[in-house]
Structure 1
Amino acid sequence: MNTQKRMKLGLKFGLFEQIHIRSFNTIETVGNRPPLFVWREDTNENGHSEEYIDYIRDSFLGAEFLTGYEVLDIHDNSQFWNSGGARGTADAIVVQSPQLAHPQNIIKLVLELKKKVEDNDEHQAIGQLIASNMISPLKPVVMLTDFSSTFQFYWIVPSQNPAYPAYPYFSCICMTSFNDIHQASTFARALLVPNQVIIYMSQENQKRLPLDERRMLIREFKPIYESVDDDIANLDDFIDEMGPEERASYEIKKKVRKILPLVPSRFHESVEEALRRYL
C-alpha cells in the first residue's frame, strides 16, 4: 500500500494521515525481563508460529498478566479476518474470554511480527490496526516487532486538533516505539492489566498510556467519501510493500485458498497445515 492508498483509506474512516508520535520517559518495568526471540535464518515468520505463540504467552507477556486472556495463532483460521468486511494478515492476537464463539470480536492486542522490521512495514501495521478496530469493540492496539530491537505500538485516539473541520468527530493514529524489550513488554502488560500500573509506573507515564478510555473505536464513525462496500485493510493493498519472499508466499497462499472450497473438507486441515509450515 502506497501513501496515496493509505491516505484514501484513512479518510474513509475519519483518520488523518499524519501519525502522532507519543514519547515516554523510561518506563518503570514490571515482571520478568523477556529473553530475545531467536529467528531461524532458513524459515519465514509463519514457520515460527508454534514457537512465537509460546514465547508471547510465557515470556513476552507472561502468565501472570494473561489472566482472562489467551494468545491465539490466527493462521489456524483462514477466515478469521473475513468478518464485518475487514481482512488482514496479522500473526497473533491476544483476546479476552477465548471460549466465546467469535474471538475476533474480543481482540485486545494484535501482533505483526517480522524477522527484521523495515520502514514500509508500518503501512501493514496500520492496515491491521484499521481491520482489527472494525471487528473488535475493545479498541485493539497493534504491535509491530521483531522481538529484538524494534517494538512499535499503534492505536487510535480522538483528534485533538481544532484546526481540522469537525475535529471531535475525527480521529488520528498514535505511535510509540521502544528498543528495549523489557520496556516494550511492560507497555503491553499495562494495556492488558491497567489497574496495576498505579503500583509501578510514574504518574507522568500513566497519563501517557493509551488506556481503554483514551482510545477511540473507528467503527463508531459513518465512513465518509466512499461506500463501506470496499474491502477494508485488504492485504492486496500492501502487496507493493512486501519483500520478494513474502510476496511469493502470499500469492501462493491466495491461489491455494481460492480453490480450497473445491477440495474435500476432510483435507482442509492438512492443506492449511502445509501452508503454515512451508510458506
Structure 2
Amino acid sequence: MSYLQEKYINPLTDFGFKKLFGTEPNKILLMDFLNQILPEKHQIQELSYSKNEHVGQQELDRKAIFDVYCVGQSGERFIVEVQKAKQNYFKDRSIYYASFPIQEQAKRGNWDDKLEPVYTVGILDFIFDDHKLDAELIHVVALKKSAQRSFSDKLKFIYIELPKFKKTEAELETQFDKWLYVFRHLSQLQKRPTKFQEKIFEKLFEAAEIAKFSKNELVAYEESLKYYRDMKNVVDTSKEEGWLEGQKAGCEQRNYEIARVLKAKGMPIQEISEITGLTAQEIEHL
C-alpha cells in the first residue's frame, strides 16, 4: 500500500480521528483531551457516544454529520470536529451543528426548559483570516452581554488553530501541549517520545500503530489518507497560484477550480459545497 509508509496514523484524517477518539475502547483518549480545554466544573469523568448523524426537522434542512458526538456523565453535549481546510461559512456551519444537541434536549417528556451545556470543539488545520496576526491559538466563544459579562454558559465554541503550534518536543510543558504535538506530528514519529510516558499516551501510541490494523482498517485508512492529501494539495496549490489573494472575482474562480478538482476525485457534492460555498446545482454543472 503506497500511502502507508508511516508507523503511526494521521489523526487529522477522518478515519484516523474517529479511530483514536470516536470508539468505545479509546474514549479515555477523548476524555483526557477534552479535559485540557474544558472549565473545571465541566471536567469529564465518563462519557457515552451518541449517533453522529442528525437530520433537520424541515425537508430543506441538510444533514448534520459530526466527526464525534458524545454526552458527558452530567448531560453535557460535545461535538468534536476536525476541519482540514477553510470553508466560506465555517462559523455558520458550527452554529448550525450546535443547534441539534440543543433541539434534542427538548424531546424529553415534560421538559422544564432547562438545557445542559453544549460544546463545539473545532480542531482546525488552518488559521482564521481574522486571527492571522493573533498569537493565541485557542479561541473560546461564549454568549456574552454588554461589557463582556456572561449571558449564559450553556453554549460554547472552542477553536484550536493547529498551524500556530510551533513547539518542539523539548519545549512541551503541559498536557495540552502534548496533545497539540500529537495532532501535528504523530504520523511523522517512529517511536513514542520520551516526554510521552504517561499511561494515556501509551494507550494512544498503541491504538495509533498502523501495523496492528486489520486488513479492512488498512484499506479504509488508505482511502482516508488519500482524501486528506488530495484536499491539502488542492488548497496548497490554490495558495501558490494566488487565488486566495484575489478580489471577489478571483475568489469565485478559485472556488470553481477547487470544486472542479474535488468533483473529479469523487468527493460528495454536499462536502464540496461546504468547502467552496457553491450550490449543488453549480457543482453538478461543472
Q: TM-score range by the shorter chain?
A: 0.3 to 0.5
TM-score by length of 2: 0.34
The structure whose RCO (Cα within 8 Å, separation 6+) is larger is: 1
TM score, norm. by length of structure 1: 0.35
Please identify the structure whose Cα radius of gyration is greater. Answer: 2
